[in-house]
Amino acid sequence: MSPINHSSVIGRAEHELLICCARTILDASAAERIRSLAGQQLDWDDLFRLASRHKLSPLLCWHLKTIAAEFLTPPIQERLRNSLSAISRRNLQLSAELLNLLQLFQQQNIRAIPYKGPVLAETVYGNLALREFVDLDVLVRKCDVLAARDLLMVRGYRPFVQLAASQESAFLDYQCEHVLSDDGRDVMVEIQWRVVPDYFSFRFEYESLWQRTEPATFCQRSIATLSPEDTLLILCVHGSKHLWSRLIWICDVAETVRQFRHQLNWQLIEQRAALSGSRRMLHLGLFLAQDLLAAELPEEIRQRVFADEATKALAEDVYSRLWPEVEEGEEGEEDDDPEEAAGFFESSLFHLKAKERWRDRLRFCIRVLTTTTIEDWSPNDDFRSVPLAVQIRRTVRLVRKYLPQLFRLLFSRAA
């Protein structure tokens, strides 16, 4: 496979600098390139905006102040210190709350696995301050979701979704998470029973995942975490779901490969990816991590990943979305759903191409049209008697809302 032309990925010095900083350990050439770029005439406001959008502010600030401080003006140095300090305080606050929640669940005999966010920062990045996160992700068994939600509500959290009792089972069947927030402490928690919604057709055996958990030390406490193999596969699926539109998700994969390179069982990873229909998503994540961030893959895996032209085409699609134009004053929009930003059909087309099995693509299409969301529900819907009516209502809503976009997309590609 011919390499991707990175001039199409790195259009400006600010882009290249952010990519060079998107790793915890720098080799001599990367460090020298950062120093060279820091000495150029940069648009620092744009650089900080990009770092915030891609959740790479900690790594950018850390590397610049460590190896390129002499090229920075005093106001920029102060901005770096303030940013890193604010993120560190926020990460410590969220980590303390995570430990409190895990203890609360344990007292009620609810098994919980924290992943992404603070656990990834400490166990993979090696420093709680080097990976920014905005919420807490906790995986529980489906049978424990409502009990976990109720415990959080007693603690002062409020769910984003208010459901009637008859709608709860439908929500658990169709969706993947309950999101709750404590506005007083500015904390958001996602209680998850699967890593992507059911319509995504990720055929993963979650019960066996619970049997493969491993102990880890987090903030001097022993907790249960995902195995390195499950972590890597789930990170690749998560990044694919969100179109890999943030560099932090590619960085997560690269850092996981680096941290666990001597213990990853690649044969098991490939087997689980094949069984769950996520092999191309796995390969895409590995391709991006190696191609953009120089992750060291075993040669056999690297050849397999880079031999697939479909994976390369998806990577080029990802690169085309890395640097969206953002109008001045829109910096607060960086947390918008990247799938919505790309558009319903564009994101669905990406998801279809990221599946290697036709049966998964067909299942995805059917479920996207028929899997209901709270936008489709009304307070009077009773899912013990009218689920078909709600599915029909969703299909009609999607057709009415997106059919004009479909025609525009088809005609623009034909032109």
pLDDT per position in the chain (415 positions), as tens?
444 556 557 779 999 999 999 999 999 999 999 999 999 999 999 999 999 999 999 999 999 999 999 999 999 999 999 999 999 999 999 999 999 999 999 999 999 999 999 999 999 999 999 999 999 999 999 999 999 999 999 999 999 888 877 778 878 888 899 999 998 889 999 999 999 988 888 989 999 999 999 999 999 999 999 999 999 999 999 999 999 999 999 999 999 999 999 999 999 999 999 999 999 999 999 999 999 999 999 999 999 999 999 999 999 999 998 988 754 444 444 445 555 555 777 888 899 999 999 999 988 888 877 776 666 666 665 555 556 666 666 666 666 666 565 555 544 544 4
What does DSSP assign to residue 379? T
Domain segments of the chain as ranges: 6-371, 372-415
- Per-residue b or e along 253-272, where b marks 16 or more CB atoms closer than 10 Å to that residue's CB: bbbbbbbbeeebeeeebbeb
What pLDDT was estimated at residue 162?
A: 82
Q: pLDDT at position 336, please? A: 52
CA neighbor of 278 nearest in space, from 205, 354, 350, 367: 354
Position 377 scores a pLDDT of: 63
Closest by CA to 287, choosing from 258, 314, 322, is 314
| Residue 163 neighbours by CB under 8 Å, 6+ apart | 171, 374
State the pTM of this model. Answer: 0.90
What ranges make up the beta strands (E) of 105-257? 112-115, 136-140, 158-159, 177-182, 187-192, 214-218, 221-225
pLDDT recorded at residue 335: 47
Are 24 and 295 within 8 A, CB to CB?
no
DSSP letter for 160, please.
Answer: S
Q: How far apart are CA 249 and CA 239, in angstroms?
A: 6
pLDDT of residue 98: 97
Q: What is the pLDDT of residue 329?
A: 45
Topology at the third CATH level for domain 6-371: Beta Polymerase; domain 2 (3.30.460)
Helix axes 279-293, 247-259, angle to 10 degrees: 90
Tokens standing for residue 176: 């993947």
